[in-house]
Structure 1
Amino acid sequence: MEPDGIGQLYQAYEQLKKKLADEGLFSAPKRPLPRFPKRIAVITSPSGAVIRDIITTTRRRYPIAQIVLYPAVVQGDGAAPDLVRQLERVNAAGAYDTLIIGRGGGSIEDLWPFNEETVARAIAASQIPVISSVGHETDTTIADLVADVRAATPTAAAELAVPVLTDEVVKLQQQRTRLYNAMTNRINFQQERLNKLMAAYVFRQPQRLYETYVQRLDHAQQGLARNMRTQLQQTQQRYQLAQQSLQSHNPLARVQRDQITVTQLADRLNTEAKRYLADRQERVGKLINGLDYLSPLKIMGRGYSYVTQDDHVVRQTADLKTGPATIHLSDGTATADITDIQPTSED
């Protein structure tokens, strides 16, 4: 079983409401209405009571605002496209501060163009703040949910769109009076301060103002002179002490003392060098005699000799082999032929 008639419209209404809510069209930031609009665009039927109520209320409250009617079909099959076209025209003009869209009361079928998705998206895309006033106070359309402000009646829409001019004039006069009183009080207060300052002792005898500073300047100059004299005396004393110290540490006398010391050290160095050289010469002579005593030539001169074979010195029978060998004597060499080797037994 499927809903028909009014039930089908309510079902379509709820489905579209959920869809646009999920997209965030209802929760999007609402644009504030201008407080003092100059031009107001109204999209509604030119023959209904809506436009008359809006004009009457606006002229009574704020007659300086200009109302421009954009006539539209607000009921039937062609209403939704016409409403979208007029919304686009108002935004294309761009010379309006506020836009009111609405119609009078009726059944859900009569108000259905304001529940169309195209109308809702056109209101959401509007660059001008939109006041929706559709049907009676108990009627809620998709256009009411998408608009920046919802009004229960056309009269309420006009009241939301414009202030009461006489009230604003009274407020301006009150603000003017408060501003005038505040400035008067401020001027009087500053005048009293000026009078007190002009009657002050300093202004009656201004020389008193700088006498103290002159005295302080004199004291400062005297103190500066004393400090300069003290510093000069201290500098002179330091100069005298430095001069005495330089005289006591005359480099010429020190050079003379150092020359004597150098001469004495040179004599000592020469003496020590000669003694050290004599000691070394004596030690070298003893070493030469010892080496000469241990020389193999000296030993061989006493009748000793040594044998080499294959350029190696023979120290024992194990180093010998049969064949030629060289006998080294003190005055030459002799060649021998080894034919037999007899090692000495351990016994």
Structure 2
Amino acid sequence: MSLPQNNKVYTVSRLNREIRSLLEQGFASLELTGEISNFVAPASGHWYFSLKDEKAQIKAAMWRGNNRYCKYRPENGAQVQVKARVSVYEPRGDYQLIVEQMAPAGEGLLKQQFEALQMQLAAEGLFNSFHKKPLPQQINRIGVVTSATGAAIKDILSVLKRRAPQLEITIYPSLVQGKEAAAQIAEKIALADKRNEVDVLIVGRGGGSLEDLWCFNEEVVARAIFACTLPVISAVGHEIDTTISDYVADLRAPTPSAAAELVSPDSSELISYVKDRKQRLAIALKRTLYDEQQHVARLQQRLSLQHPRNQLMQQEQRVDELQQRLLRALQYQQQKQHHKVNVLEHALLKFHPEKRLSNAKAKLDRLTSTLYNTMAQHSASQQNQLALLAARLDSVSPLAVLSRGYSITQKNNHVVTSIADVKVGDTLVTQLADGQIHTQIKDIAKLK
């Protein structure tokens, strides 16, 4: 079976290179938060770690050119917010984050969520100017979605009482802070829209921290404002505060008091109209500026793809990886050689001359003792045998016979055993126990 012919056959390296190019162009810059784990800072100065949440994780690298400006020293288990781009480490085909900035998570997380939702809703067109509804030329009834006891409603009522006390005001009381506030605000906006009993709707509250104003950055509030058929004025916080509801609303007022002035007739109606247009223009310019900034960022990213620094960083990361593998291999070889030395030392101790001399000396002592014992036993045995032989010899000794009264007669050193051996005139020597007697034969008498 043969494979079908394909003019575009990829190598692995080419595939990884093209995937890297696609990821780096598609995710030129993003911000995200997560928990640091597996943090490593080798001698090269680069940082390698993983960024994870409760469901997933991704590898990340922060080059020394960026981390030297980081005032925060990361550690395992820390929650951080990073600005990064997505890339691929081509030798292993691992996709990873190239981190450019890092800071502890906290308010930064809220800002990240704010920017993420802002981009999402802007992409969906919720901020587009052609969706904005103009304020009615004649306003007689005003609805207000806010806290019934907060400073915002007091300021609004004070301004309306001073500028246009004839206006009808309907309050749709709601929480404007806390976890349940966003749902209540969205519910009251929908209620006012359903009743259709006012000409314009003010949604807002007084100033506070980013966390205090966060319910006006929730998606449910933004979509409720966008879906409302009534003209909606967002009046959240102070003039410097900006929320998602400001972008979605038909008009943004810098404060609740300013919102009351916008909806109340005044001799300076033309000025209010100009302010409204100015506000719209500012939002449009800000949106245009944001789009252009994103376009510039994408162009910079495409330019950076051609920069040798990226390849150099990839190679440095590869060097760091090989260095760590070499270090582990050296440690393994060192342990292996150390074990071998221990085995050889143990074997050497078994054949050490000192130990062999000690064993030989002990063996010599045992052999010497055995030799002495054997010699003593042999000597005693020989002495006993000698004594037995001496006794046996003594029993057959002629001297012993002589001592019992016997004698030996010799002629010319030959023992005379018969009278036939001598003749008259011979000289005989008689051996007694205590001496010899020399005699000369005068006569020979034979037994009859």
The structure that has the greater radius of gyration is 1
Question: Which TM-score bucket, shorter chain as reference?
Answer: 0.3 to 0.5
Report the TM-score when normalising by structure 1: 0.47
Q: Which has the higher strand share?
A: 2
Report which structure shows greater RCO (CA 8 Å, sep ≥6).
1
